[in-house]
Amino acid sequence: MRGSPATLRQRGFSLVELLIVLAIVAVLTTIALPFLLSSKISANEKAAMATLRLIGQAQVQFTTSGIADVNGNGTGEHGSVGELSGGVAVRATNGGTRVLEPTLVSPAFRAISPLGEFVKGGYYFRLYLPDAAGNGVLELPGGGAAAAVDANMAESVWCVYAWPVQGGATGRRTFFTNQSGEILFTESAAYVGAGAPIPPGAALAAGGAVNSILGTSAPGQPARDGNVWRTFGN
Is residue 73 assigned to a domain?
Answer: no
Residue 67 is assigned to a structural domain of this protein: no
Mean pLDDT of the chain: 89
Asked if pLDDT for residue 8 goes beyond 50, the answer is no
Q: In Å, how far are 13, 118, 159, 163, 234 from 41, measured between CA atoms?
A: 39, 19, 24, 12, 21
Q: Which residues contact 211 (CB under 8 A, 6 or more apart)?
A: 135, 136, 199, 200, 201
Q: What pLDDT does 18 receive?
A: 72
Q: Is residue 115 part of a domain?
A: yes
Q: Is residue 138 situated within a structural domain?
A: yes
**Averaged pLDDT for residues 144-153:** 95
Residue 135, in any domain of the structure = yes
Confidence (pTM): 0.84
In a domain, 90, yes or no: no
> Which pLDDT belongs to residue 31?
72
Share of the chain above pLDDT 70, in %: 86
- b/e string for 128-156 if b means 16 or more Cβ within 10 A? bbbbeebbbbbbbeebbbeeebbbebbbe
Give the residues across from 167 on adjacent strands.
171
Instruction: Report the 3 state secondary structure along 84-142.
Output: HCCCCCCCCECCECCCCCCCCCCHHHHCCCCCCEEEECCEEEEEEEECCCCEEEECCCC
Is the bond leading into 219 cis (omega within 30 degrees of zero)?
Answer: no
For 152, the domain range is: 108-234
Judge whether 51 and 125 are in contact, CB under 8 Å.
yes
Domain count, the chain: 1
Q: How far apart are the first and last CA of the chain?
A: 77
Is 226 inside any structural domain? Answer: yes
| 188 belongs to a structural domain | yes
